[in-house]
Amino acid sequence: MNQWSNFSKGFFKENAVFTLLLGMCPTLGVTSSASNGLGMGLATTFVLVMSNLVISLIKNLIPDKVRIPAFIVVIATFVTVVQMAMEAYVPALFESLGLFIPLIVVNCIVLGRAESFASKNNPISSIIDGLGMGLGFAMALTILGSVRELLGSGKMFGVSIYPEDYGMLVFVLAPGAFIALGYLIAFINRVKKTA
């Protein structure tokens, strides 16, 4: 039961974007659309789950002096797998996400979970933790991308909701990411206080 409480922490109590304010570079950089947010979130989820699994399996083989570099090598391996798979199977998304895919290697969410959780727990717990944190991150990026895309261009996942003429261009641009994220965090904090 305790393992599943780790799963839900990534969605609510310890959501990387809305609660801990971690991973702001991809959060603000790629969420100009819902599909970009979902794509980046799922890529990060894969890296989190797989790196947590491997690190939990090899944690006793890694000397303390090279612990962090070893974690980075494991994470970089799975980021390379994601990057090559995206380039081969979803080239439009790969082009859209661009430089942010390799930056998953140094994403503080991934390295933080490797250090604080996977290196201290068993493989099953580490997989569940990675899945919960990753899907929570994907949910947050998708919500932020949906809000920005809807307000900026009148679309959601590329489907037109209202005429583009009524959209506010600022939400598709970089300042819109800060504005939308700020309002979403304020809304979530308000809901938490009333709940």
Rounded Cα distance, 179 and 175, in Å: 6
Report, as an integer, the average pLDDT of 133-159: 94
Q: What's the confidence (pLDDT) of residue 2?
A: 65
| Mean pLDDT value across the chain | 91
- Decide if pLDDT at 21 tops 70: yes
Q: How far apart are CA 179 and CA 135, in angstroms?
A: 23
Rounded mean pLDDT, 51-61: 95
pLDDT for res 23:
85
CA distances from 113 to 76, 110, 179 (A): 15, 5, 28
* Predicted pLDDT at 34: 94
pLDDT of res. 37: 95
Q: Is the dihedral of CA 25, 76, 60, 131 positive or negative?
A: positive
**Would you state the pLDDT for residue 13?**
84
Distance of CA 97 to the CA centre of its chain: 13
Check pLDDT > 60 for residue 143. Answer: yes
Which pair of structure tokens corresponds to residue 142?
């998708």
Residue 36 has pLDDT above 60, yes or no: yes
Average pLDDT over residues 180-194: 91
Integer-rounded Cα radius of gyration of the chain: 17
Lowest mean pLDDT segment, chosen from 25-39, 86-100, 135-149, 155-169: 155-169
If pLDDT is split at 50, 70 and 90, which confidence band does 87 have?
A: very high
Position 138: which residue type?
Answer: A
DSSP bridge pairs for 160? 155
d(CA 64, CA 70): 10
Can you tell me the mean pLDDT for 108-121? 92
- Fill in the amino acid letter for 78: F
Is residue 9's pLDDT more than 90? no
SS3 call for 159:
strand
Reply yes or no on whether the pLDDT at 1 is more than 60: no
Cβ-based neighbour number of residue 106 at 10 Å: 13
The whole-number pLDDT of residue 56 equals 96
Say what the pTM is. 0.92
Number of C-beta neighbours around residue 31 at 10 A: 28
